[in-house]
Structure 1
């Protein structure tokens, strides 16, 4: 039986996990676990890290890591996750899988900024060891360990491990809601593409090299079907129209409930990375309007960037730019160039 003290902690923490986390609260030693209305067991593991196990577990049960706030100012998906925790706690959302909820850069969330020293989503796969003085480095290490520990108890059956990392973009996009899939060397998953279609994701960016994002880490180190979702624009807490993200929210809830959503959703268009712009020095220039949307197309021979002797000129009949950002630190990515590969990509799904 749940004690009154445990029930009170459960209500205050799970009813608004976001507010609880932003307030810097931490449960006492005897208050880190409890039971939801549907019998699921929750465990508070760390600041912004909550694990929920379903009431019953079968062989091959799915394990899902759902994360948001890896960039502290990307508030809409953080709010969606907090509402999801509340609904599971109250028995309003079904849970048939193992779930790990992570609010990523909590300190940046509290400061209403993207990050404090370094972009947390560039510090995974051990890159945090290269910036030991960064205030983001310990968090990157902690989130790596949280994922490793969670998936260590997961089934090895195909499709049993998932990671949905939810973000919002800095700028507008020709496709308002899109996804990025990490490069693993394995064929891309039809189940993931179908889930993205259900989530109303209209475009998918396919990486062709390994990266240092959280979804790259879980795909490589934990064998997860992992994706990064870009669900709109950065806005302050409380200023989001969450109805605009209903597709992703409902698709995630269906994934956790083990139910099928819309089976007739259109598959997203696929775009493959063919190059990136790297800022080599403070002389770097992006020869674009400051507010050019993601996935803006450019024709062959268009000069897009220069940096000293370096020039980037469009080589294909059409290339689209994603994440153009001239303000990054030297040595970091200042933009990705992609070409559409929908037909070949969909034909190669497994």
Structure 2
């Protein structure tokens, strides 16, 4: 197998399901699920996923470039790696999803909908995570899960991370890596969710983060130089080489409200040009759904992922506060 992405998009398994290079052994588990094991004893394990949404192509191209470099021997692998392209059907169709957003279905939430290809895919991804844990008990560090995405909207922070609800302290080396990956902001969830990273963290104690890298664009239209720092940090992580040197640290936000579309009366009072991390003043009405009103409670709150084009019961946006409330030049009052 020479190209992970093209093999996945073909809808067929490779002629040979496992093999080795001078530095690693690889095994094809399912469409878009490939395990790589270094020939040296690994000291850490990593799940790296992309393409959970089929229209978010920049991380898919980035992940494929890394996997192809490992298979060619350009990078000497030091970790146990499970590489995942999340939704091959949506990637082929060039759509965010076909029937259901699979990043709202993990952890048993798939039970609430009728069976379809995307429900079956969620079950396959959950099994892949669970099975990948089997050899990890010998490792000295908890496994990491990095799920690579892009945003539908432009953002005041081009690259940022979303950390799931976690009762344990975040490891220092993990937080340091997120900084070296060039993330401009970190958003901390304060409630459980149906995302892939919440599933791996809550069910199997993975140290997990969703990385949002730029804006969703079709294959071939991405400027991957925007994410060169993240690419370098991933390469260093996989190869055991020194991490890039960066200055500064990400701004930190935490979620204080979730906007949910409860009925067909839902109205989002945020226009299509509003960027992620736009700040709103106290009292601003962000959305309403019948008698339910979503209003800014504190002096300054930020909006993330506003989207009215979602199914009933799903998230239509997040409202954030910043841990450091100093005024930033990026903040725009609307």
| Equivalent residues of 1:208, 1:273 under 8 A apart | yes
Q: 2:91 aligns with which of 85, 92, 109?
A: 109
Shift of 1:271: 0.1
**Comparing 235-244 and 183-192, the one that deviates more:** 183-192
- Structure-2 separation of matches of 1:298 and 1:255: 38
Q: Quote the residue 1:46 is aligned against.
A: 30
Superposed CA deviations along residues 36-86 of structure 1, whole A, max 9, x for unmatched, are 2x330000110011000001115xx20000100000110011111111111
SS of 1:142 mapped into structure 2? helix
Shift of 1:210: 1.0
TM-score after normalising by structure 2 = 0.94
Q: 1:323 aligns with which of 305, 310, 319?
A: 305
Tell me how many residue pairs correspond in the alignment.
Answer: 325
SS of 1:99 mapped into structure 2? strand
**Is the aligned partner of 1:266 residue 2:253?**
no
Q: Quote the residue 1:16 is aligned against.
A: 3
Identify if the C-alpha distance between structure 1 residues 264 and 245 changes in structure 2 by more than 3 Å, giving closer, same or farther: closer
Unaligned regions of 5+ residues in structure 2, if any?
Answer: 326-334
**Comparing 128-137 and 277-286, the one that deviates more:** 128-137
SS of 1:102 mapped into structure 2? strand
SS of 1:144 mapped into structure 2? helix
Q: Provide the aligned C-alpha RMSD in A.
A: 1.5
Shift of 1:157: 5.4
Superposed CA deviations along residues 95-116 of structure 1, whole A, max 9, x for unmatched, are 1110110000000001110001
Q: Quote the residue 2:165 is aligned against.
A: 183
Shift of 1:323: 0.5
Runs of 4 or more, structure 1, over 6 Å off, are: none
Unaligned regions of 5+ residues in structure 1, if any?
Answer: 1-12, 344-350
Shift of 1:188: 2.6
SS of 2:5 mapped into structure 1? helix
TM-score after normalising by structure 1 = 0.90
Shift of 1:313: 1.3
Q: Quote the residue 1:196 is aligned against.
A: 178
